Structure 1
């Protein structure tokens, strides 16, 4: 079985990938794991330290081939606000609850949770169910050896 030996951040590798691995956001924080590729093959990810993989990152196999990481479609809420300040306020409430969130210019995406949906609607947000790839903002301590 081939092994993955390193990770290249999205945009750093110009060579096309030979395979794709599709993972939801909660399975993209890895150090050692058997990965199932798009063609049914498996490879062993075995890195010295845990990494948080993003959509578009490339995994380098010991034979030099590249595997592209794709964010899986997930069931999410798309949160829209009355305006930019309201969006910031909603982001603050979500951050205060330590929820993974993908923050965009005009909306926030989070995992579905009916209690959080009710809270957001009570704060005046429009909340729609969507299914799409999820790339939450990496935490402030990402890459700094902090366990939080």
Structure 2
């Protein structure tokens, strides 16, 4: 069982630094999985150095972290925001579902680095568990939509 309270106690700190955290997560995603950059038209064919402090990466960072925060704050009762997120990623962005697992795994790593005292082993486990459930629920939406991307 996921301890959503632990997740949300750290998430409140994340919200005060959303853009920087989101930038770190996205840049690490692009570094570890360069092919993921192709799913973001504004970032395609640009180096990480070119992207680092652009308005576009900051805007995308805010979008990603706000969407994730909206789901996390539901404390497990997140079917509506998950459906909405999955729908746009299935129909508009056409991003394969395995990228949600990749980005949330990176998010735990980045949060652990940026908030070492808050992100102890128990909190890391809570985040990992929460993200695993969220990603599983997103994948169910993809299957229901018969995503072929």
TM (norm. structure 1) is 0.24
TM (norm. structure 2) is 0.24
Larger helix proportion of the pair: 2
Report 1 or 2 for greater relative contact order, CA contacts < 8 Å, sequence distance ≥ 6. 2
Mark the structure with the bigger radius of gyration: 1
